């Protein structure tokens, strides 16, 4: 295995190119993933933002969500942003729109979709993130919120307005916001290091 982590970006919807650029800047070799067989050989996968229901629907015909969950169980690291956090959460408090569709699961949190309101309620913030020396710029667009931590292994890395917005559990990293839209690649760097371990 080479020293360069192989990281995929789920390319069904969302800021795929921006995630790929951030990962490349962090030293990863990147490829896009649309089908289960494209997960082969990856040490990590980014599940980008977008619309969680649309991503789940697009993934369903090829069984992509169970395949991602299986590969994670075999050791592949996961990084979910915005909709990615929703798809990785073990529970979604307002999951009606997702009923009947597979999600990845495994991250022991309860999330609520679009908790900060509509697109018009989007905002940016400077977050103090555990392990980073300087504040991290964060873009929140129709962002989910972590309502509850379900397991002591879930580590809260950052909060905004009193709620967790970045968490880590084992080989899972997740954020309510869009770190790929700021030009600050430190979270992608953290994930690249996680994937390479």
CA 186, 187, 191, 194 dihedral sign is positive
SS3 124: strand
Identify the active-site residue in 19, 51, 72, 178.
Answer: 178
178 counts as catalytic: yes
147 counts as catalytic: no
Q: Are 188 and 180 in contact (CB under 8 A)?
A: yes
Identify the active-site residue in 72, 82, 185, 188.
Answer: 82
Q: List Cβ neighbours of 130 (8 Å cut-off, separation of 6 or more).
A: 155, 156, 157, 158
37 counts as catalytic: no
Identify the active-site residue in 180, 185, 188, 193.
Answer: 180
SS3 16: helix
Reference 172, options 185, 159, 184, 157; nearest CA is 157
Catalytic residues: 82, 178, 180
């Amino acid at each position: 295995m080479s020293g360069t982590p192989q990281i995929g970006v789920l390319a069904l919807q969302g800021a795929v190119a921006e995630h790929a650029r951030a990962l490349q800047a962090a030293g990863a070799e990147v490829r896009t993933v649309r089908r289960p067989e494209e997960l082969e050989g990856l040490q990590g996968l980014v599940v980008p933002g977008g619309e969680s229901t649309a991503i789940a629907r697009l993934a369903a015909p090829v069984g992509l969500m169970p395949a991602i969950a299986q590969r994670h169980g075999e050791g592949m690291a996961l990084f979910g942003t915005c909709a990615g956090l929703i798809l990785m959460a073990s529970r979604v408090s307002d999951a009606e729109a997702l009923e009947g569709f597979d999600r990845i699961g495994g991250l022991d949190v309860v999330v609520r979709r679009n908790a900060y309101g509509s697109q018009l309620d989007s905002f940016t913030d400077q977050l103090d993130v555990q392990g980073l020396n300087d504040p991290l710029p964060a873009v929140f667009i129709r962002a989910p919120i972590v309502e509850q931590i379900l397991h002591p292994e879930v580590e809260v890395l950052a909060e905004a307005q009193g709620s967790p917005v970045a968490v880590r559990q084992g080989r899972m990293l997740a954020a309510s916001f869009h770190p790929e839209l700021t030009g600050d690649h430190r979270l992608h760097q953290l994930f690249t290091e996680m994937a390479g371990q």
